[in-house]
Amino acid sequence: GLGVSKLLGATGLVTLDPGFTNTASCTSEITYIDGAAGILRYRGYPIEELAKSSTFAEVAYLLIYGELPDQESFERMERRISRHRLLHEDFRSFFTSFPSSGHPMAILQAGIAGLATYYEDTLNPHDPYERELATILLLAKMPTMISYIARRAIGLPLLYPDPKSGYVEDFLRMTFGMPYQSYDIDPAVVRALDMLLILHADHEQNCSTSTVRLVGSSDANMYASVAAGVGALSGPLHGGANEAVLRMLDMIQTSGMSTAEFVRKVKDKEDGVRLMGFGHRVYKNYDPRAAIVKETAHDVLSRLGGGEGDRKLDIAMELEEVALSDDYFVSRKLYPNVDFYTGLIYQAMGFPTKMFTPLFALGRLPGWIAQYREMIADPAKRIGRPRQVYNGSTERHYVAMHRRQ
Ligand code: ACO
């Protein structure tokens, strides 16, 4: 019933749980999810309250340090992040060494891992000073890195960070601004992006976070561990889903296929096609983040004049309606997840499709850092080393190549 089988291995009891559907890998005080009730809380605070009233920078503080900051602690953190936003100048040539059409997630993963080579005095996770500096450096440099990758892909000159401007605001300016010109920022867009980043900031032991913890359990430095998380996030079943959703909506729109026809293909599992942005390992009722994102998609698209996006929003809503009244989806408890509507918002903001998953990575960064730090500080920490149930050949003996059939 539970999908867990127990086997007696040579060294004692071994449980086999593919996909870890019933296996907890750690205890954690960071994020609470009740999948049946559709509840998500960071450090006890409901996601709806944080999305409405907080900022991404404040949520990052909350996740990493455990409490909402007072004014002074918050400003101290912001100042430290602002001071470190510049990337080492050599990084420019690092970015140009990849094909400009290369996927941003691949470049981001390499860039994050590469930070370890510039900041060798921040690599020891057990030294509180080094761990703290690595935390700040990652938070500070990730937006600059992502905007550099986005600019290079379209051949625009890279813009340096402006320490006087806010975290999300400056990320938008570096990504969309022009040299020597002031960038007219739309506060509603800043707010919408800030809120989307909050929604992505942590999600307990998901695939990328578990990866960060597993890599870090060997005492690998924070950059190596977060880079591995970026790799895990790139897959279409995880963070890559936001990009896959938009490609799916594009395909439905350009092919002229009806949403009902597409849903039929999904149900028939034709070529393994899935309704991207639907389903979740833990949420079996609804994803509370999806409800907030759907509302934002309406607001942002009506504000920015979605154009093509408006039609895609219609298709997305139609798909949702068809799916939610279809027994295939209802019986499997498949509902829209956070990624179903985010791509439409990112597109309306001007982000190219390939940049969607790096935006997810930027949002998830505080969660990865918080979880890494909790893992390192856990007195019960041991190197992560799952067991297996071997089902290969029994002992056999080497045969010379000329004798093999
Ligand atoms: N479309 C169609 N059918 C689906 C979908 C989907 N999106 N998701 C699950 N199913 C079906 C499966 O085919 C399976 O049915 P079956 O028993 O007839 O074969 C059943 O639902 C259970 O699916 P699993 O793959 O076993 O569910 P799991 O918990 O392992 O996977 C996952 C969860 C990966 C999110 C899955 O629902 C999926 O692939 N969704 C689409 C990709 C996506 O949106 N990912 C983003 C996840 S959220 C995030 O990372 C922020």
Our answer on whether the CB atom of 241 is closer than 6 Å to any ligand 1 atom is: yes
What is the whole-number distance in angstroms between the Cα of residue 204 and the centre of ligand 1?
A: 18
Report, in angstroms and rounded to the nearest whole number, the Rg of the chain calculated over CA atoms: 23
- The pLDDT value given to residue 304: 83
Q: Hey, whose CA ends up nearest to atom 9 of ligand 1?
A: 279
- The pLDDT value given to residue 205: 97
- The pLDDT value given to residue 1: 39
| Three-state DSSP state, 42 | strand
From the list 170, 202, 287, 339, the catalytic residue is: 339
- The pLDDT value given to residue 306: 60
State which H helix or E strand residue 10 sits in. Answer: none
Work out which ligand 1 atom sits closest to the CA atom of 245. Answer: 44
Our answer on whether the CB atom of 274 is closer than 6 Å to any ligand 1 atom is: yes
* pLDDT tens digit at each of 405 positions of the chain: 344 555 555 567 899 999 999 999 999 999 999 999 999 999 999 999 999 999 999 999 999 999 999 999 999 999 999 999 999 999 888 888 999 899 999 999 999 999 999 999 999 999 999 999 999 999 999 999 999 999 999 999 999 999 999 999 999 999 999 888 888 888 999 999 999 999 999 999 999 999 999 999 999 999 999 999 999 999 999 998 898 999 999 999 999 899 999 999 999 998 888 999 999 989 988 899 999 998 888 888 888 876 666 788 889 999 999 998 999 999 999 999 999 999 989 998 999 999 999 999 999 999 999 999 999 999 999 999 999 999 999 999 999 999 998
| Three-state DSSP state, 39 | strand
> Which two three-digit tokens encode residue 101?
């059409």
What is the whole-number distance in angstroms between the Cα of residue 251 and the centre of ligand 1?
A: 20
Contact 334, 175 (CB under 8 A): no
What is the whole-number distance in angstroms between the Cα of residue 278 and the centre of ligand 1?
A: 7
What is the whole-number distance in angstroms between the Cα of residue 340 and the centre of ligand 1?
A: 13
Catalytic: 200?
no
Our answer on whether the CB atom of 151 is closer than 6 Å to any ligand 1 atom is: no
- The pLDDT value given to residue 2: 45
pTM (global) more than 0.90: yes
Our answer on whether the CB atom of 210 is closer than 6 Å to any ligand 1 atom is: no
CB atoms near residue 384 (< 10 Å): 16
The candidate with the shortest Cα–Cα distance to 347, out of 321, 295, 319, 310, is 310
Residue count of the chain? 405
Mind giving me the DSSP string for 139-150?
Answer: HHHHHHHHHHHH
Our answer on whether the CB atom of 377 is closer than 6 Å to any ligand 1 atom is: no
Sole residue written with tokens 């219609």: 314
ipTM above 0.85, yes or no: yes
What's the rounded Cα separation, in Å, for the pair 219 and 233?
Answer: 21
Work out which ligand 1 atom sits closest to the CA atom of 339. Answer: 51
From the list 170, 194, 280, 287, the catalytic residue is: 280
- The pLDDT value given to residue 15: 92
What's the rounded Cα separation, in Å, for the pair 21 and 3?
Answer: 8
Residue among 31, 246, 332, 335 whose CB has most ligand 1 atoms within 8 A, to mutate: 332
Work out which ligand 1 atom sits closest to the CA atom of 281. Answer: 29
Our answer on whether the CB atom of 335 is closer than 6 Å to any ligand 1 atom is: no
Neighbour-count burial of 69, counting CB atoms closer than 10 A to its CB (0-12 exposed, 13-18 middle, 19+ buried): middle
Catalytic: 298?
no
- The pLDDT value given to residue 74: 97
